[in-house]
Amino acid sequence: MEMKLFGLWGFKDVDVKNEGLKRYISLEPVYIPHSSGRLAGKQFRKSKMNIVERLANKIMRSGQGTKKVAGRYIRGGGNTGKKQTAIKIVKNAFKIIEKRTKKNPIQVFVDALINAGPREETTTIIYGGIRYHQAVDVSSQRRVDFALKYIALGAFATAFNSKKPIEECLADEIIWASSSDTKSYTIQRKDETERIAQSSR
């Protein structure tokens, strides 16, 4: 029998359309996305962790606190350290995605990651006492990291001080990112990063 995520969605037919990201989006079948920290603290081992668990880990955040996210300061404990709560949020969000799109939510999530990772960013170079920005290509691993971070941040920012539950905000963010909709916070950040890089070439 095929192992399905939460006993509902299979990994077998999920396709990563971007060849460069295939190594970094792990679709190893799991029932519950919880590896109990077996891959923590080891360099680059996060690419072996199931991608749905990586999303759940990103949901366990307290906000930036010092910087504005989507026009507001977000502070507070949020869901920090509560893995079971984070897994429930992801499960409920996936149910909403399936209901709205009539597709496998894992496939929609993978498409969102492919669309959301910036391909170019800037780095600071100091040459002869002068500091300037230079455009550089983003590695595949970093593209996935960026996409996961901004999907979680976008959902958290929308749900903050709002009547809309986090599950619905996360589902919205993933659906918009999968179709490259500019309503998505993730797509806005990606476009901004690439635009800055383009002007620094």
Tell me the C-alpha distance between 113 and 178, whole Å.
7
pLDDT at 77: 59
Q: Tell me the mean pLDDT in the region 177-200.
A: 90
CATH number of the domain enclosing 180:
1.10.455.10
Tell me the residue type at 152: A
pLDDT at 187: 92
Give yes or no for residue 64 having a pLDDT over 60. no
| Least-confidence region, from 11-15, 53-57, 153-157 | 153-157
Domain that holds residue 106: 4-199
Say how many domains are in the chain: 1
* pLDDT bucket at 153, cuts 50 / 70 / 90: confident
pLDDT tens digits, one per residue of 69-82: 666 666 655 667 78
